[in-house]
Amino acid sequence: YQNCSKIPIVGEIAAGIPTVVNREYENYLQIPNEWIYSTERTFALEVTGNSMNGIWIERGDAVIVHQQDNAINGDIIVAIINGEATIKRYMTMGDSILLLSENNDFEPIQMKEEDIAINGKVIGVMKLCGDI
């Protein structure tokens, strides 16, 4: 497709630390170039949970992620905690970080900054039909 880029679907959001460094992936998404900052630093993850369904990020969706290690208040990020990845809203509170769900069934996660790693910022969501 013209004016589109092929980005890898690197796994599920709960499957660990996603990377896009020199790997061959089985599944890809074609997305318009204007949706992404950099094809080399953009990847997709399949959502497996429902903690963000209040903002229409639901199980089975693909989130489009720009790989970066920083965030500002309000960003939706991929956070790595104890080797597991999760999508949450990022907020600072004093010298702590709050990771907020968009589902009232989930409590906020309060962490020290050094106890989490930011793997990327969610820049889009694609509603998918069937398995990817």
CA 80 – CA 56 distance, rounded (Å): 22
Strands in 76-81's sheet, in edge-to-edge order, are 28-32, 4-12, 42-46, 62-66, 117-126, 76-81, 84-93, 96-100, 109-112
Catalytic residue among 5, 6, 38, 88: 88
Answer yes or no: 121 catalytic: no
Backbone angles phi, psi at 55, to 5 degrees: -120, 30
Number of helices and strands (H, E) in the chain? 0, 9
The β-bridge relationship of strands 42-46 and 4-12 is parallel
Active site residue 88: yes
- For the chain, the first-to-last Cα distance in angstroms comes to 19
Choose the catalytic residue: 5, 6, 51, 121: 51
- Active site amino acids: 51, 88
